[in-house]
Structure 1
Amino acid sequence: MRNKIELKKTLGLGGLILFGLAYMTPMIVFGTYGVIYEESGGQVATSYIFAMIAMLFTAVSYAVMAKKIPESGSSYGYVSKVFGEKLGFLVGWIILLDYLFLPMVIWLIGGVYLEAYAPNVPGWFWLVAFIVLTTGLNIIGFGVAKKINLVLMILQLAVIIAFCALAITIIGDQPAVTPAAPDFNLTFIGAAIACYSFLGFDAVSTMAEDTKEPQKNVPKAIIWVTLLGGTIFAGASFILGAAFPDISLFASDSAAADMATQIGGVAFSSVFVATLVVAQFTSGVSAQAGASRLLFAMGRDGVLPGKMFGALHSKFHTPWISIILVGIVGLLALKMDITTSTSFINFGAFLAFIFVNLCAVVTYLRMEPAQRTISNALTHLVAPVLGVLCITKLLISLDSHAITLGLCWLVAGAALLVFLTQKGAKLELDME
């Protein structure tokens, strides 16, 4: 029997949307702009539009599955129920690339900007500070975090609007650049990286057991988060592209800070960097919370050691051991760069997205004939199939090193599955 352990239901629809947007961090469009510009040949806005379309198809599949299976675990839980526990374990292992390492990348980006702004302070200090603060906040509970998210989200949106407004004032002042012919291969490479910015929509599904009326609120939040985030990313990157047609003189990892100085002076640049760092902190809180819920679900189901990962804090009712583990993994940021780490994470996310889309298709095929309405065909069949096609194209567009690292992670997961099976580990989910 499954342990009678329950998470606190503290999130409504608004709080869940805030969680997803905080996870996404709208200001990440500035944090990764230089990297995507470099990899896409300057086609940043187009890359974001392509990424949003692919994510919307997959978001529909997540919404479908979240309504049918309102539990923590996200893609791991969906695949386990539809395809079986062993494949579910492998997908859960793959998505750990996303959930375990995403907080690391978030803290890495925040640390890069702080180090560029205050070069006399060692980078490791900022990283450790991020980890300690977010870990403590997540252990106390997400009820506190969501209040902070609201304030910080308003601050982020205000700075995004100010940045774009200032950028609009200099459109046409920069040296003219002859636009190159569109290169769709580069666009897909850029979109594959841009998808990193959208990962908050699937994290919403990990909070099902923290949410009131999850079958109603989780599907709505998934779609809203994808649409709102994508609109912000595509709109802001279009304005930046018009204002700064050539950013080759800026450092790619922190190009937005140089742009902020150029359009608003040192004072605005200081406000921008401070807000970006605070936004990264907010995103780190949400990312760490989502990762800990996935580990909690796998520990509770027995596919990971239950005494460790399935345990909740006696006072705060949060998966505190999993939260601390995610913080420890974040220390790997000391040896990683932004481009490789974002691509590495996306490999795991893309594979998981493909399987969630397939879950929706299988769910449709298992329906009674009377249930196969036009509406269900669109949400359970058409959108998921298009999602698989788009995500597959993005997957093969990833950096070769990221694909190699991802495949190594997958092989390690398969080996672990064999080991657990031979040791008689509990791999059957309690369906009650």
Structure 2
Amino acid sequence: MPPSPTPTGPRIKSPETLIAESGADLEGHGLKRTMGLFQLVCFGVGAIVGTGIFVGLSDTVAEAGPAVIVSFVLAAITCVFTAFSFAELGGAIPVSGSSYSFAYAALGERVAFLVGWCLLLEYGISVSAVAVGWSQYLNELLDSVFGVQLPTALSAGPADGGVINLPAVVVMAMAAALLVRGIRESARATAFMAVLKIGILLAFCAIAFSAFQEGNLTPFLKEGAGGITSGASLAFFSYIGFDAVTTAGEEVKNPRRNIPLAIMICIGLVTLLYCAVAVAAIGALGADAVGDKPAALSLVVDQVTDSTVGGGIVAFGAVVAIASVVLAVMYGQTRILMSMSRDGLIPRVFERVSPKTSTPVRGTLIVASVFAVPAAFSSLDVVVNLTTIGTLATMVVVNIAVVALRRSRPDLKRSFRVPLYPLSPVLGVGFCMYLIWGTGWTTWVQFAVFLVVGALVYAFYGRRNSRLGAAQAQAA
């Protein structure tokens, strides 16, 4: 084990220290390793496949037209290079903190805190956005099956012409209730929902391809190269969540093997599924029709089958799919906050694990309560770009962390190594920056303000309460 940093040195925590500290929290109650490879893959798919494809496909098609397929592939390539980096770091440092912990080990505490701050966008704000998408498809399902819809005042926020989005709050409450019961129950539920939604998307492809018309794919570059770039930035939202696999590092059996393998399986499976769904939808109705309605998949099935039954089934699949994303993403947020709390950078309440359920009960309830507020009162469109840029920023740091850790710790045990090093992480940074460019200057300004606020929180709370900083001071 390398020596601890000196009192005047950088606040970098060694991988061995991170792993040792994750064995049990300060209350003496640790997380339990109960997830196997299949459950981990289902957890990853559960975190990825949801609002982005069921609700966000229409926005992506509206930007890129038939070339949305290229947008999905471009977003996938970005994810693949970064997934290699996550796989290497997840296998070497199998703890719950994900990119926050990786940055702590490679780049130091300040960068790690800002990464954790950005993860509030990827996990916290995105779970609110996902809950809003769930509410939209719940109304679609009620309309298809019973011919009724919830009143707009109670199923949409003020930005969408309503008062409060109660269904979005309800799905977050259900996810929190399941998470506090235990990871075994949550993993089983996620696995069931992941298998179900993949089956429904495959059924959608079969129905839509039966009405496929080649002419609907022309002109292919209808919106030009700029449309592809903008579409790729939006399509990236559909892939957010694959890194959630690394947040389960302390609850996975044989994590050094299963975490890298699960990440690669998830990215490959989801990319094939998204491209097939996009081609099938546009081929059946055309880009203009698909890009005109949020619940586009239900619309496609309704028109192809000339019945509302198929659309109702797709809507049911979307309700299940999006609920599983809420569950998986909320899980990831609580584990990241738990890691930050262990380090003293945020209040201690988030690190406490219940001896009865082996879950961070209080932290889960706080997360659900806080992020239910934007879910109740905001619009999905408002937060998608901000969530995307926050996620891309953390991925830039993860790619850099691979290079930094290779140089500072060449002796570290790595169960997976990124191929074509150092080209792979460099390309990962490049593709992430390319998609950040596509989010637009308004989002850049919002994100810059968000980072400044995070830097101030670290300066006035995190740095002063850091346990690593306290240990360095005692050693002086």
TM-score (ref. length: structure 1): 0.92
Cα distance 1:161–1:322, how it changes in 2: closer, same or farther (>3 A)? same
5+ residue gaps in structure 2?
A: 1-20, 156-164
- Per the alignment, residue 55 of structure 1 pairs with 79
Question: Is the contact made by 2:61 and 2:287 (CA closer than 8 Å) also made in structure 1?
Answer: no
Tell me, in whole angstroms, the C-alpha distance in 2 between the residues paired with 1:356 and 1:290: 17
Matched, 1:347 2:371: no
- Per the alignment, residue 243 of structure 1 pairs with 284
- Per the alignment, residue 188 of structure 1 pairs with 229
The AA in structure 1 aligned to 2:113 is F
- Identity in percent: 24
Structure 1 residue 39 displacement after superposition: 2.3
Cα distance 1:85–1:176, how it changes in 2: closer, same or farther (>3 A)? closer
Matched, 1:142 2:183: yes
Cα distance 1:174–1:334, how it changes in 2: closer, same or farther (>3 A)? farther
Cα distance 1:84–1:132, how it changes in 2: closer, same or farther (>3 A)? same
Cα distance 1:41–1:313, how it changes in 2: closer, same or farther (>3 A)? same
Matched, 1:166 2:207: yes
- Aligned pairs for 1:21-420 (under 5 A) are 21-25=45-49, 28-116=52-140, 117=143, 118-121=148-151, 122-123=154-155, 124-172=165-213, 178-180=219-221, 183-248=224-289, 251-264=292-305, 265-306=307-348, 308-328=349-369, 329-366=371-408, 378=419, 380-420=421-461
Question: Is the contact made by 1:250 and 1:258 (CA closer than 8 Å) also made in structure 2?
Answer: no
Q: How many residues align?
A: 428
The AA in structure 2 aligned to 1:185 is G
Tell me, in whole angstroms, the C-alpha distance in 2 between the residues paired with 1:356 and 1:252: 36
Deviations 1:181-230 (A, max 9, x none): 56222212111111112122111001100111111111111111111111
SS of 1:209's partner is coil
SS of 1:43's partner is helix
SS of 1:226's partner is helix
Structure 1 residue 368 displacement after superposition: 5.2
Structure 1 residue 147 displacement after superposition: 1.6
Matched, 1:6 2:30: yes
TM-score (ref. length: structure 2): 0.84
Tell me, in whole angstroms, the C-alpha distance in 2 between the residues paired with 1:15 and 1:421: 35
- How well do the aligned residues superpose, as a CA RMSD in angstroms? 2.6
Deviations 1:220-247 (A, max 9, x none): 1111111111111122212222222233
Structure 1 residue 165 displacement after superposition: 1.0
Deviations 1:324-348 (A, max 9, x none): 2221213302332223312111111
5+ residue gaps in structure 1?
A: none
Tell me, in whole angstroms, the C-alpha distance in 1 between the residues paired with 2:422 and 2:214: 48
Deviations 1:247-274 (A, max 9, x none): 3486432222222211232011111111
SS of 1:149's partner is helix
Structure 1 residue 429 displacement after superposition: 9.6
Q: Which moved more, 1:276-285 or 1:120-129?
A: 120-129
Cα distance 1:147–1:398, how it changes in 2: closer, same or farther (>3 A)? same
Tell me, in whole angstroms, the C-alpha distance in 1 between the residues paired with 2:191 and 2:418: 37
Deviations 1:108-153 (A, max 9, x none): 1110122343433431231122011111001101211222223222
The AA in structure 2 aligned to 1:120 is L
Structure 1 residue 290 displacement after superposition: 0.7
